[in-house]
Structure 1
Amino acid sequence: MRTTVLACSLALALTTAVPAAAAAPPPATAAPPPAAAAGRPGHVPQAPALRRYAADTWRSIAAMVEPRTGMPSDKVSGDLRTRAKVTSPTNIGTYLWSTLVARDTGLITRGQATDRVRRALDGVARLDHDTATGLYYNWYDPATLAVVRTWPETGDPVRPFVSSVDNAWLAAGLMMVKNAVPGQARRAGELLGRMDLTAFYDPAGRADAGTGLMTGGYWPDKPDGCSQETDYAGTGRTVYSTCHRYGAMSETRIVSYVAIALGQVPAEHYFGLWRTFPDTCDWSWSDQKPEGEWRTYRGVKVFEGTYGYRGMRFVPNWGGSMFEALMVNLVVPEETWGARSWGRNHPVFVAAQIEHGMNEAKYGYWGFSPSNDPAGGYREYGVDPLGMDTDGYTSDEERTSTDPGFGDCRPGKPDPERYGDGVVTPHASFLALRYAPDAALANLAALRDRFDSYGPGGFYDAVAVRSGRVSREYLALDQGMVMGALGNALAGDALRRYFTPGGPQRLLRPVLGLEEWAVRRG
């Protein structure tokens, strides 16, 4: 149940860009003791340090842009010279919002930002796409804008796929441009207006609850492996949808939010997403037995369950990663629209990640989220007991996992005696900045001071904290999250101000405000 943008270890391009000179990192600050980790929401400490981080991060994002097309690539090497030969709709969406942040924080002029946005939208308009619904394939060559059909690094064939989550992130970027760049608002609106996310909606996905779920996407042609023939958006044309449906409260909720905000799926669909699976033995394959009760909202039955971890109660995501918890929150003000649900959950989830890194695993650092693997490739990282998946995302290279059991339905196993080489990614700290600002900045300062983790484009993607290995690359997705968090901190929640007017306020906000989750810090 992960997005396709996370499914592959991406290849680097052979084209080169002129690197910018490395900037000195902000001055280090002493790390507070673990007890000081909570911070207070809305507090923005050390603005000069944040501005320097933003400037350096923008340098890496600018280095990813292909000069011939103005489109971002998927990643760039740590020296900012070698770009990837692929890009995705998510990369384009995060590049659009990063450009707005660069403008709003004074890193580029208004005219430069408009020109960058214009070129990117020109590129989007030229991309081959599924014309019936205006939706985009998952991989493109940023230099030629052609659909990728052969993986550059290996020569393996790539079967064109239309990803629901990737299209949703692009749509979110277009929604922001429409509200933030007057000269490009009409163009962004035209591109957004032709995107029909109902192609991903399975109205019977939660037949037991009387609502639907979103698929992971579809292939225009029958793939190898599992797929389901689907009547394509009611047109009578057959496409081949993924066999899974997105039902967890992970980053995949962005496709639900955007589709609701655009009026393309009923708002009640929000209540079809699982807070946790139910507490009966039929669901004992999931990570732990939840506590909760059934409630009904707008005619949809919802099991409002929570998981437990070291005295805390919270609503989990699929793998237990910071990305799944907080990327969506960059653009949707969940903790204010859902003050009694998300507003309670996000700070507890951040506190739980800190607790794992500092006290349970005793790494001395925290922040676990999908990233490059310092040993090579790409991997999902997280805190296993914070996710619904039994196998879970783990925080170390050794994949040390836990199994608390599921009551009488499945016995648990002893906790690990120790954890191995923990892998910490800086973007997780930036995502946590709103909820634990002092702890986040201290964690980043410690990573910078004690490892070779900072380069000309800001923080490298990941650090294995016991071996000291560093993945010296910059990923568009991860740097885009860093830039988004910094833009919100430095420019008055800029991304949220650009995303929320109109449909999000009118259609999405009312359903987010209805629930009260039994979340507690301990």
Structure 2
Amino acid sequence: MKIRPPVALAATAALAAAALAIQPPTPAAAGDRPSSGSRAVLEEYMADSWRSMAAMTDESTGLPADNIGGDLAASSRSGYTSPTNIGAYLWSTVAARDTGLISRREARERARTTIATVAGMEKHEPSGMFYNWYDPATGDKLDVFPGGGAIEQFASSVDNGWLATGLLLTERAIPALKHQARAIRSQMDFGYYYNPAEGVRKEPGSDAPVGGQIRGGFWVDPPSGCSVADNYRGDEDVYYTCHHYGSFNTEPRIASYLGIAAGQIPAKHYFGTLRTFPPTCDWSWTETKPTGEWHTYEGVDVFEGTLPYRGHRLVPTWGGSMFEALMVPLFVPEETWGARSWGVNHPLYVQAQIEHGMDEAGYGYWGFSPSNDPAGGYREYGVDQLGIDGPGYTSDQERTSWEQAYEGCPDRAGTPAPTAYGDGVVTPHASFLALRYAPDQALANLAKLRENFDAYGPGGFYDAVAVRSGTVSKKYLALDQGMVVAALGNALAGDSLRTYVSRGALSDKVRPLMEEEVFTTQAR
């Protein structure tokens, strides 16, 4: 997940009523069109959300700010941006074109400006990877955040994954920019992050190899915190994060997919990350004891584990948030390629988030994902029990969590389940991510948020609502609005964004891996 800088960062009654009738979600078929009534709502959301992306963007550089104030005033733009934000603006520009909001010429000129700036931005030349923070008004690499705070510049695997996604999409969607976008993307080597020696623990008694994992990123100069000096490409040492992205169902898998598709990372890496940790006391610091079985794919032993939630069993994310699970399938049709894995897990994950908000916590709303904190700043939100990590992300301001028991481990007897939750924080982008898998529930949830709170402004839904206090974070974030626009673009334009990204090498090399795997996920 991105490390953010230390700064404070007319719906129908029928739709609103539908939120009370929670049914198990069924994914919409590929290419399905919304009904005429819901299409009009989606088109309104799309037009307003695109307005926020355009307002964030400096016309001279084509770079979006990380965030902007709720009034969309240019003076309220943040003075920093990231590779993820830039990728989000590129795909949003194409989505705006494909849904008829802007002309082909305008989309081409907007993307041309952005790509010309990116081509001149400072990066780590041996890997082709970009650093985490730049000035959107100039494209210069930042060494200090606006307002203070030194930056130890870092090349993030996941952030570069989202920039590469935007570039890949642009080169396929805008033929006039094909060569310029490809020239940047072809230099990006995701193998720089791949550690072949780090992977899932083997089944006891097996001599199968590990699949390897990717690091969170690297610094060029030694950072003040933990780092590992190494270089997987044999070049001059960089300083890798001490952690790997070991959890499978999280957003860094976009970098894994791109690396596999490009031949920079071996296919077995798909099976090198964790569905859950194996069910032994070595891992009793995680959420609770998983159940599952061992399978072998591409020569790698994989524990096909799941965690329980209200009678369901599902493959968790790291922290329990929506965007960890569902940002990647905005661009990669995981639930169709992996019908026996993602095709079961994605809709069930949405159902679990709905049940938490509506039934378990009783907020009356749902959709928990990292967002601006209505009390100020930025925070991770999620459903604690849907994450591998023991503490997980929580859904309320009070950080109400539950230490479940880990059967058979004396140090994890557990604590009683919460009997009440506090001021739940719901972010609208989570409902847009769920739109494919639970369209009626997602639209109803958004309608209620708009009707019952001051949650909608000139750029669409504001970033987050604390639903018991009614406090609203009146900000727009490029990352979150980029997810909203991508979801709406797919819904309104026949999955065009997915089509641009997933064809070719991704389909040829990643789809067979998804088709091979079977999760042990089960609905109650």
What is the CA–CA distance in structure 2 between the aligned matches of 1:62 and 1:190, rounded to whole Å?
A: 25
- Given the superposition, is the C-alpha separation of residues 194 and 176 from structure 1 closer, same or farther in structure 2, using an over 3 Å criterion? same
Structure 2 partner of 1:296 = 296
Structure 2 partner of 1:434 = 436
Q: 1:245-394, aligned counterparts within 5 Å? A: 245-248=244-247, 249-394=249-394
> Quick one: which amino acid aligns to residue 36 of structure 1?
I
Q: 1:80-479, aligned counterparts within 5 Å? A: 80-81=72-73, 82-153=76-147, 155-206=148-199, 208=201, 209-231=209-231, 233-235=233-235, 237-248=236-247, 249-409=249-409, 410-479=412-481
Q: Is the 8 A contact 2:25 2:348 kept in 1?
A: no
What is the CA–CA distance in structure 2 between the aligned matches of 1:301 and 1:478, rounded to whole Å?
A: 36
> Quick one: which amino acid aligns to residue 438 of structure 1?
D
How far the C-alpha of 1:508 sits from its partner, in A, is 0.7
How far the C-alpha of 1:37 sits from its partner, in A, is 3.8
What is the CA–CA distance in structure 2 between the aligned matches of 1:33 and 1:183, rounded to whole Å?
A: 44
What is the CA–CA distance in structure 2 between the aligned matches of 1:275 and 1:54, rounded to whole Å?
A: 34
> Quick one: which amino acid aligns to residue 39 of structure 2?
A
Q: Is the 8 A contact 1:54 1:483 kept in 2?
A: yes
Structure 1 partner of 2:5 = 8
How far the C-alpha of 1:518 sits from its partner, in A, is 1.6
How far the C-alpha of 1:7 sits from its partner, in A, is 3.5
SS at match of 2:354: helix
- Given the superposition, is the C-alpha separation of residues 158 and 214 from structure 1 closer, same or farther in structure 2, using an over 3 Å criterion? same
SS at match of 1:80: coil
Q: Is the 8 A contact 1:37 1:354 kept in 2?
A: no
- Given the superposition, is the C-alpha separation of residues 292 and 207 from structure 1 closer, same or farther in structure 2, using an over 3 Å criterion? closer
Mean Cα displacement is larger for which, 304-313 or 197-206? 197-206
Q: Is the 8 A contact 1:11 1:85 kept in 2?
A: no
Q: Is the 8 A contact 2:25 2:350 kept in 1?
A: no
What is the CA–CA distance in structure 1 between the aligned matches of 2:283 and 2:97, rounded to whole Å?
A: 48
SS at match of 2:390: coil
SS at match of 1:162: strand
Answering whether residue 67 of structure 2 is matched by residue 75 of structure 1, we say yes
Question: Structure 2: where are the runs of 5+ without partners?
Answer: 202-208
What is the CA–CA distance in structure 1 between the aligned matches of 2:427 and 2:510, rounded to whole Å?
A: 31
How big is each residue's C-alpha offset from its partner over 1:359-414, in whole Å with a ceiling of 9 and x where there is no partner?
00000000000000000000000000000010110000000001212112121210
What is the CA–CA distance in structure 1 between the aligned matches of 2:60 and 2:19, rounded to whole Å?
A: 49
Structure 1 partner of 2:205 = none
What is the CA–CA distance in structure 1 between the aligned matches of 2:386 and 2:142, rounded to whole Å?
A: 35
Match of 2:58 among 66, 83, 102: 66
What is the CA–CA distance in structure 1 between the aligned matches of 2:92 and 2:145, rounded to whole Å?
A: 27
What is the CA–CA distance in structure 2 between the aligned matches of 1:223 and 1:145, rounded to whole Å?
A: 23
Structure 1 partner of 2:49 = 57
SS at match of 2:230: strand
How far the C-alpha of 1:231 sits from its partner, in A, is 2.2
Structure 2 partner of 1:22 = none
What is the CA–CA distance in structure 2 between the aligned matches of 1:517 and 1:213, rounded to whole Å?
A: 20
Aligned length: 505
> Quick one: which amino acid aligns to residue 335 of structure 1?
E
Structure 1 partner of 2:16 = 30
- Given the superposition, is the C-alpha separation of residues 356 and 420 from structure 1 closer, same or farther in structure 2, using an over 3 Å criterion? same
What is the CA–CA distance in structure 1 between the aligned matches of 2:153 and 2:519, rounded to whole Å?
A: 40
> Quick one: which amino acid aligns to residue 320 of structure 2?
G
> Quick one: which amino acid aligns to residue 245 of structure 1?
H
SS at match of 1:347: helix
What is the CA–CA distance in structure 2 between the aligned matches of 1:168 and 1:202, rounded to whole Å?
A: 17
Identity %: 58
Q: Is the 8 A contact 2:316 2:386 kept in 1?
A: yes
How far the C-alpha of 1:33 sits from its partner, in A, is 5.1
> Quick one: which amino acid aligns to residue 176 of structure 1?
L
TM-score, scaled relative to structure 1: 0.95
Runs of at least 4 residues off by over 2 Å: 5-12, 25-31, 33-40, 207-211
How far the C-alpha of 1:27 sits from its partner, in A, is 4.6
What is the CA–CA distance in structure 2 between the aligned matches of 1:179 and 1:10, rounded to whole Å?
A: 36
How big is each residue's C-alpha offset from its partner over 1:157-199, in whole Å with a ceiling of 9 and x where there is no partner?
1011110100111111111111111000111111111111111
What is the CA–CA distance in structure 2 between the aligned matches of 1:68 and 1:182, rounded to whole Å?
A: 22
Q: Is the 8 A contact 2:287 2:390 kept in 1?
A: yes
> Quick one: which amino acid aligns to residue 103 of structure 1?
R
SS at match of 1:435: coil
What is the CA–CA distance in structure 2 between the aligned matches of 1:429 and 1:165, rounded to whole Å?
A: 22
RMSD (CA atoms) = 1.3
How far the C-alpha of 1:39 sits from its partner, in A, is 4.3
Answering whether residue 37 of structure 2 is matched by residue 40 of structure 1, we say no
SS at match of 2:212: strand
What is the CA–CA distance in structure 2 between the aligned matches of 1:458 and 1:239, rounded to whole Å?
A: 41
Q: Is the 8 A contact 2:427 2:464 kept in 1?
A: yes
Q: Is the 8 A contact 1:37 1:438 kept in 2?
A: no
How big is each residue's C-alpha offset from its partner over 1:57-106, in whole Å with a ceiling of 9 and x where there is no partner?
00000000012211111011000011110000000111111001000000
How far the C-alpha of 1:34 sits from its partner, in A, is 3.9
SS at match of 2:109: helix
Question: Structure 1: where are the runs of 5+ without partners?
Answer: 13-24
> Quick one: which amino acid aligns to residue 419 of structure 2?
E
Q: Is the 8 A contact 2:26 2:347 kept in 1?
A: no
